Structure 1
Amino acid sequence: AQCLRAQDSPLEETVVVLSMEQKRIPKSIKQLNDRIRRNRWETEEIEEKRKRRREEEDERDREKIENNILLIDSITRQ
């Protein structure tokens, strides 16, 4: 908080500045909370995308393995 309590600054001016600072604090706390909330949402979105991507990669890997097994099986039968 800015404190203008210099020797040439009256006490009333100091009180005004401090009350202005007090009004700013809740606003900045709200902004921080909003930013935290947004970051949490973004993080959840990123995690969901990563999870989906891993699941898709796992599915592709399973399909490749199944195809390889079928190919090997067909080769060994000949």
Structure 2
Amino acid sequence: MQPLRCWTCGRSLHGISSALQETANTGGSLGDILDKCKVNRYCCRRFALGELPRKDIPSNDFMRHFGYVASKEETTTEPSR
């Protein structure tokens, strides 16, 4: 559920939820759609992007590729005794 207002500054975020969902489905840039909707403050952008569907969150394989989490080999090895 998309927040109706930014909790930090109080700006209404009601109109951007459909635009964000449409952009997420088509694979467009989320930053560009926020700029188009004139959401410029960091606090508002944080709340707008914080409620995206789970499918838009990068998978662990993506994160492993760029080194953000341990590789599968590192996590599946037996601990040394």
TM-score (norm. length: structure 1): 0.26
Larger radius of gyration, structure 1 or 2?
1
Considering Cα pairs closer than 8 Å and 6+ residues apart, tell me whether 1 or 2 has the greater RCO: 2
Bigger share in helix: 1
TM-score (norm. length: structure 2): 0.25
